Amino acid sequence: MIAEKMKGLVANNSAIRTMFEEGKLLAAQFGEENVFDFSLGNPSVPAPPEVNQAIIDVVNQEDPTFIHGYMSNAGYDDVRQAVAESLNRRFGTHFSSRNIIMTAGAGMAINILLCALLNPGDEVIAFAPYFMEYNTYVGNYYGKVVAVKPDTSTFMPDLDAFAAAITPKTRAVMVNSPNNPSGVVYPESTLRDIARILTEKSAMCAQPIVLIADEPYRELVYGGVEVPYVTHFYPHTAVCYSYSKSLSLPGERVGYLVVPDEFHDFANVITAATIANRVSGCVNAPSLMQRVIKRCLDLKCDVAAYERNRDLLYEGLRGLGFECIKPEGAFYLFIKSPDPDDLGFIAACKKRRILIVNGTAFACPGYARIAYCVPYERIQRALPAFQEVAQEYGLGQR
């Protein structure tokens, strides 16, 4: 009965979500404190208390037909202007409301942009390891993701492989920094290299290749690392942002799309993306949350809590002999599988009630993702279980 293109998705379902459901079953059986669930990127840190106060204030102070009503499909003008000015203050950009579309999270921002741009058969390049939902997002418009393998010593893009992957069908390139699942942050030099390659290669395409910066983890960085603002390096850059992680509001579905003035064919692209917001059926980003965001633009969740988690987990796993690079941002650690078959490693972990996601689910076999957006105590209690796994694989302690 179902559509052909849904059959594979129904058969496989999402590896991450499946793990989430298994976690709930194990928790019911063994008690929640005895299941070490690191499978899902659901923030463990609550929203800043000012967010809930802002919700109450908006409800008490503003007209209900306004705060719950329709607005332009791009969002409330004043909210978009406030978002633009916040970006300008922080990143030296020159946006105004016309460059911003409020969206139901970064996922919807990516979708309305792809809807605006892609024709069937177009190719979108993604740097492995990458969030596999990109495949379905691009597939929604009958496009195709072309994966570029990483340099696994740094998890930075392999730039020669990138240049070689560009064809006349390449319509866009996705970058995701801080990265899910590796935790790396692209330095300015990497972004300049990507921009240079895109400028050179766009010459063989009918129009400039678009750079899509998927940035839900922008504010989650540790040790003073800077995340360069991508529009500074390449004009045809669109930024997809979400408050899911920075304000711990993933269920609320609020974020935005930025399209700068200098983006090729700006007026048509921003109009098409706005229409895409409408015709998707979503219509607009949730209205009350837009009004709340205007009051919370300069807030952040407790990023230090994630940094403490990272330090405990990274040092702990390295001490047990596991291999991984130190994440500089996001809340994931991408560990090398000590088993040539990463599903074997996942199974060995599950035997100790450790739930993590295999690297193949991020187009990067031989690795696994550990989401450390969890209570600190869960990491503490999980380390002895990880030790058992290390012993099973004969890893040397340091």
Site for its own copies in 247-266 (CB under 8 A): 248-253, 264-265
DSSP label of 207:
S
Q: What is the DSSP string of 263-331?
A: STTHHHHHHHHHHHHHHTS--SS-HHHHHHHHH-TT----HHHHHHHHHHHHHHHHHTT--BPPP-BTT
CB-based contact 145:126 (threshold 8 Å): yes
Nearest distance in Å: CB 84, its own copies: 20
Options 81, 86, 136, 199; binder of its own copies; rule CB under 8 A: 136
Q: Which residue lies nearer to its own copies by CB, 3 or 298?
A: 3
Nearest distance in Å: CB 152, its own copies: 28
Q: Is 223 exposed, middle or buried (0-12, 13-18, 19+ CB in 10 A)?
A: exposed
By CB under 8 A, residue 304 contacts its own copies: no
Q: Which amino acid makes up residue 219?
A: E
Cis omega (within 30 of 0) for bond into 235: no
By CB under 8 A, residue 141 contacts its own copies: yes
Give the whole-angstrom CA distance, residue 121 versus residue 317: 43
Strand partners, 147: 126
- In Å, what is the CA distance from 214 to each residue of 27, 102, 176, 256? 33, 15, 5, 11
**What is the contact mask toward its own copies in residues 187 to 226, using x (rule: CB under 8 A)?**
--------------------xx------------------
Supply φ then ψ for residue 109, to 5 degrees. Answer: -60, -45
Query: What is the three-class DSSP state of 225?
Result: coil
Q: Where are the alpha helices (DSSP H) in the chain?
A: 4-12, 15-30, 49-61, 64-67, 77-91, 105-117, 133-139, 159-165, 188-202, 243-246, 266-279, 287-295, 303-319, 342-351, 376-392
Options 35, 83, 101, 115; binder of its own copies; rule CB under 8 A: 115
Options 29, 32, 46, 160; binder of its own copies; rule CB under 8 A: 46
By CB under 8 A, residue 133 contacts its own copies: yes
CB-based contact 180:159 (threshold 8 Å): no
Task: With contacts defined by CB under 8 A, name the span among 191-199, 244-252, 303-311, 340-348 that binds its own copies.
Answer: 244-252
Q: Which residue lies nearer to its own copies by CB, 182 or 287?
A: 287
Give the whole-angstrom CA distance, residue 83 versus residue 104: 15
Options 28, 56, 225, 347; binder of its own copies; rule CB under 8 A: 56
Give the count of residues interacting with its own copies (CB under 8 A).
82
Site for its own copies in 154-193 (CB under 8 A): none
Options 34, 154, 167, 268; binder of its own copies; rule CB under 8 A: 268
Task: With contacts defined by CB under 8 A, name the span among 52-60, 189-197, 217-225, 364-372 that binds its own copies.
Answer: 52-60
Options 93, 146, 280, 395; binder of its own copies; rule CB under 8 A: 280
R_g over Cα of the chain: 21
Q: Which residue lies nearer to its own copies by CB, 41 or 359?
A: 41
Options 111, 182, 190, 202; binder of its own copies; rule CB under 8 A: 111
Nearest distance in Å: CB 111, its own copies: 4
Options 37, 83, 105, 198; binder of its own copies; rule CB under 8 A: 105
By CB under 8 A, residue 18 contacts its own copies: no
Options 9, 27, 325, 385; binder of its own copies; rule CB under 8 A: 9
Options 110, 125, 220, 349; binder of its own copies; rule CB under 8 A: 110
Q: Which residue lies nearer to its own copies by CB, 184 or 296?
A: 296
By CB under 8 A, residue 271 contacts its own copies: yes
